[in-house]
Structure formats: C-alpha cells, structure tokens
C-alpha cells in the first residue's frame, strides 16, 4: 500500500534488464560467469523484491489528525469511562498506541493555535477565535512538502469574536495551507447558524443550502471520505477539528428524539452520551474508508481532544466521578485523549507514558513527512521516535495560558506526570491531589529537586517573555 499507483511495468522491466544483462554471453565471458542456476536467479529476484519493498515502506505517510471539541481524557472507554460507548476508539487504542499523558491548552482557540503552529501561546495567540494570517501552520508546511491538504469541521479562526480585520475572508483556510475545506464558523457567527441539525457550513467559498435534515458532523465526515477517495493515490493530510462534543448537548441522527424535528436542538446533558457515540461512529467511518482505499497501513492516524470536558458534564469512570474542567488550569482542563495508529511504522501496540504537549504535534508531523526542522519554528519536540521506537522525549512540559475569553484566569506552569509548579509558586502533586486543593509545603528530597528544575524552566520563560506582558493583552515584544 502506498501513496502512488504501483508500476508493475517498471518492476518487470527491471527484471528483464537484469535477466538480459546476466544472460548476455559477452557479459558472462568478461566476468567469468558461465551459467546461472535457478538458485542464483531466485536470489537475484529476492534482492530486487526486497529493494522494491523498502521503497514501498519509505513512501510518505498519509496523515489524518482528528481533534474532538471539549472531550477530556476521561470520556473514552479505553481511558476508564464506564458511561460512554466508544468501541471504535477503544479498538484503535488497543491496536495502536494509547497515550496517558497528553496535555492541550485548557480552552479551544489557544489549543487550535498551538497545535497548528507548534508554538507557545505567548508567541502568537492574540485573541479568542483568531489566528493571525502572518502565522505558518502545519497545513502550509505539508502542502509545501507535496501533500494534498484538507480541513473540515470547526474553524473559528477568522476573528469574528472581536471583529478582527478581514474576518469575512473565505480564502483564509487556503492561506493557511489547505487545498480545500468544509467548515463551520468560517465567516459566520454562531448566532447566524449552528453546527448540528440544519448546519451553516461553508465549503470552498460557498455556503451550503440549509437543510433541517442534515447533521453537521456527518457532512464533515462525508466530505473527508470524498477527499480520501479522490486523493488516495498521493500523500494527503486531513485535519478534522470536530464540532462534537461541544455544547449545545442535542440529539444526533441516531437518537430517538431526532425523528421529531422540533426536538433537534433540545439542549440537555443526557444527550452527551449520544454525541460521544456519534463521534466514535465517525471515527469508524474514516478508518473504514482508509482501509477501503488500501492506505490504512501507511496512514499516521491521530485522535485527540482540544481541551477538557464542559464543566456541566460529570462522567462516570472506573476510578472516580470526573467533573469536566474546561477552561481551568487543573489537569481536568487540559488532560486530553491521544490515540495514534500507524501500522506500517509504529513500534508495536502499547500504552505510552510519554509526556506530550500540543506544541509537539507539528514537529512530529513534519518529521514523519520528511520536512527539515530548518523549515519551521517550534517550541515543541517531535515524539516520532516514541511512535517508531518507544523512546520518551521529555521529562516536563511548559504551558502558558492566557484565555482571553470569559472569566478564566491567565496562568503559566511546568508539569510532569505527577507534579505541577505554577508561576505564583503553588506546587502540587497532581496524582494524589487531582483538584489541586493542597499545595505542597513539606517536600521530600526528590520533590525539592523536581521543584527546583521546574522553577528553572519558569525562570527561563519569564526572562524570555515576562508573564504580565502577555496576560490579558497580547504583546509580541516586551
């Protein structure tokens, strides 16, 4: 399987050339070759097939990056959920790599800007719902590397929130490196049209006609499936920032209530489980499409979430009842699922304890696509070696968070799998104290060393860019 059409003619031609060369009497005489036994011919054939196989596995991978909206770590069965049905994602986790420690930003736009550009928010997150056109995204980089690129789902980056300049620009996705798109909230505000039943979707510059029987998430999934149909013969990149499972919590086409058109925007958290199930259904659809086209084996398939679950949702798990922490600096605000499959390259199915930040996604995709680090700027570290060789790449991560939305508080911190140090000095064991109610004051020698290391990182970032300069108002230069 690969990204280009197989060329059996050239393979046969290659065998013919070798055969002719080795059977040529002058050639044999010159090199003291008398005869070639079947064993030798078979050996030559095996060598050639091996060379061809190596070239097949060296082809650029397809990349599919799916990011659910407002889905925290606790929502998947493979991560301990006992309330929601996610069989496709659970199977992908069992057959691929399930990460236990992936951390986004606690809010959607900060996460979107970070994952798309690979940089800390203090560098380029200017406003909620906005990505400055002066930025370069993974779409640009992969497009320049020869990938066919597509984005479908939630955009919310044109700057509609505070009427930023040129927020009606329907070419913005093209500018950020996507050949084609199918998006909600590109140049229309939420008040103009919702994302679920009868969605207001803009597709390649044109608003789709309204239809009360259409369901936005299915429109996006079908568009991506069509893109894969059309581009399976070359390397392609799909970025799917889902609209599911963000509120409003409403029926899906698989909910009994959907049959009553008047109930399709009946907002109740009881529908959250149905929305989780539909998310999982779409994952299965896209996986099946990739397999149908024969490209699954060499597709780097990534599923994650943009931030923690909505605070109105309380989820049952095998270890506790978990209240959604969206917007919060506590781990429930940005601890998100991460499942990766790449059958042709990954070093076995397993659970990974690697610490992953959203800044790490862009350099990982770039390394997988053979893009040199000199081509882009990033604060992240590629974790490709963890996918292909089971190697952890970092012991702690730094997060700068300036939400610029709602009443959420700005903060910055350094963390590892067990501890977290905030810029105000609060130091927590986040395993023993998940809600961060009791800052540590009496430290073991090990904890003293960890805190000292974390503080050195905070000091370094404070020197590079003082926290107060990028709190409520974005400033590029101190």
DSSP 361-384: HHHHHHHHTT--GGG---SS---H
Asked whether the predicted pLDDT for residue 33 surpasses 90, the reply is no
Mean pLDDT of the chain: 90
Asked whether the predicted pLDDT for residue 13 surpasses 60, the reply is no
Supply the pLDDT for residue 375.
Answer: 97
Supply the pLDDT for residue 468.
Answer: 86
Asked whether the predicted pLDDT for residue 3 surpasses 90, the reply is no
CA distance 183 to 204: 9
CA distance 132 to 124: 8
With residue 412 as reference, give the H or E element that holds it.
strand 411-415
Mean pLDDT of 137-165: 96
**Number of other CB atoms surrounding residue 218 within 10 Å:** 17
Tell me which of 361 and 162 has the higher pLDDT: 361
CA distance 7 to 126: 49
Three-state secondary-structure class, residue 126: coil
Asked whether the predicted pLDDT for residue 31 surpasses 80, the reply is no
397: nearest Cα among 158, 140, 102 = 102
Mean pLDDT of 71-87: 98
CA distance 39 to 166: 70
Supply the pLDDT for residue 15.
Answer: 37
Mean pLDDT of 451-470: 94
CB 228 within 8 Å of CB 222? no
Supply the pLDDT for residue 37.
Answer: 58
Supply the pLDDT for residue 20.
Answer: 41
CB 337 within 8 Å of CB 304? yes
CA angle 313, 315, 319 (to 5 degrees): 150
- Going by pLDDT thresholds of 50, 70 and 90, the confidence category of residue 10 is very low
Beta-bridge mates of residue 103:
335, 357
Mean pLDDT of 354-378: 98
The DSSP symbol for 81 reads B
- Going by pLDDT thresholds of 50, 70 and 90, the confidence category of residue 17 is very low
CB 120 within 8 Å of CB 114? yes
Tell me which of 265 and 23 has the higher pLDDT: 265
Supply the pLDDT for residue 472.
Answer: 65
CA distance 379 to 125: 14
Supply the pLDDT for residue 39.
Answer: 55
Phi and psi angles of residue 454, each rounded to the nearest 5 degrees, phi first: -60, -40
Tokens 């690697």 belong to 354
CA distance 458 to 452: 10
Asked whether the predicted pLDDT for residue 46 surpasses 60, the reply is no
Supply the pLDDT for residue 45.
Answer: 52
User: What pLDDT, in 10s, does the model give residues 267-301?
Assistant: 999 999 999 999 999 999 999 999 999 999 999 99
User: What pLDDT, in 10s, does the model give residues 195-249?
Assistant: 999 999 999 999 999 999 999 999 999 999 999 999 999 999 999 999 999 999 9
- Going by pLDDT thresholds of 50, 70 and 90, the confidence category of residue 38 is low
Mean pLDDT of 247-267: 98
Q: Which of 43-52, 100-109, 426-435 has the lowest mean pLDDT?
A: 43-52
Asked whether the predicted pLDDT for residue 57 surpasses 90, the reply is no
Instruction: Indicate the burial class of 412 (C-beta count within 10 angstroms; 0-12, 13-18, 19 or more).
Output: buried
CB 352 within 8 Å of CB 97? yes
């Amino acid at each position: 399987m690969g990204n280009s059409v197989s060329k059996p003619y050239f393979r046969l031609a290659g065998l013919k050339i070798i055969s002719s060369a080795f059977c040529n009497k002058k050639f044999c005489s010159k090199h003291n070759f008398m005869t070639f036994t079947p064993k030798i011919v078979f050996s030559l054939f095996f060598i050639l097939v091996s060379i061809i196989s190596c070239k097949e596995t060296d082809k650029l991978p397809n990349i599919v990056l799916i990011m659910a909206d407002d889905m925290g770590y606790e929502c998947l069965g493979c991560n301990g959920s006992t309330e929601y049905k996610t069989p496709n994602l659970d199977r992908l986790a069992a057959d691929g790599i399930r990460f236990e420690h992936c951390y986004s930003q606690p809010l959607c736009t900060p996460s979107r800007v970070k994952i798309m550009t690979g940089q800390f928010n203090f560098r380029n997150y200017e406003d909620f719902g906005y990505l400055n056109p002066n930025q370069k995204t993974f779409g640009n980089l992969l497009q320049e590397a020869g990938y066919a690129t597509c984005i479908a789902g939630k955009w919310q980056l044109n700057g509609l929130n505070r009427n930023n300049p040129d927020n009606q620009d329907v070419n913005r996705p093209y500018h950020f490196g996507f050949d084609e798109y199918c998006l909600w909230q590109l140049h229309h505000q939420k008040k103009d049209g919702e994302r679920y039943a009868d969605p207001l979707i803009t597709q390649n510059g044109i608003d789709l006609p309204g239809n009360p029987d259409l369901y936005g998430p299915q429109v996006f999934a079908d568009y991506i499936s069509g893109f894969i149909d059309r581009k399976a013969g070359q390397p392609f990149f799909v970025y799917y920032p889902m609209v599911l499972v963000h509120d409003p919590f409403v029926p899906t086409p698989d909910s009994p209530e959907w049959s009553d058109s008047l109930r399709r925007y009946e907002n109740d958290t009881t529908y959250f489980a149905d929305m989780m199930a539909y998310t999982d259904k779409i994952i299965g659809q896209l996986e099946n499409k990739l397999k149908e086209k024969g490209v699954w084996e060499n597709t780097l398939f990534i599923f994650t979430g943009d931030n923690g679950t909505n605070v109105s949702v309380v989820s049952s798990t095998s270890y506790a009842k978990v209240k959604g922490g969206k917007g919060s600096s506590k781990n429930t605000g940005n601890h998100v699922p991460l499942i990766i499959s790449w059958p042709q390259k990954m070093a076995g199915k397993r659970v990974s304890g690697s610490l992953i930040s959203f800044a790490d996604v862009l350099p990982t995709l770039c390394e997988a696509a053979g893009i040199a680090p000199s081509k882009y700027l990033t604060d992240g570290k590629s974790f490709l070696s963890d996918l292909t060789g089971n190697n952890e790449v970092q012991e702690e991560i730094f997060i700068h968070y300036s939400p610029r939305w709602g009443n959420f508080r700005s903060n910055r911190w350094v963390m590892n799998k067990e501890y977290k140090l905030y810029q105000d000095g609060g130091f927590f064991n986040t395993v023993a104290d998940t809600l961060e109610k009791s800052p540590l004051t009496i430290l073991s020698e090990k904890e003293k060393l960890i805190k000292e290391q974390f503080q050195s990182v905070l000091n370094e970032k404070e020197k590079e860019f003082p926290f107060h300069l990028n709190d409520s108002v974005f400033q590029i230069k101190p």
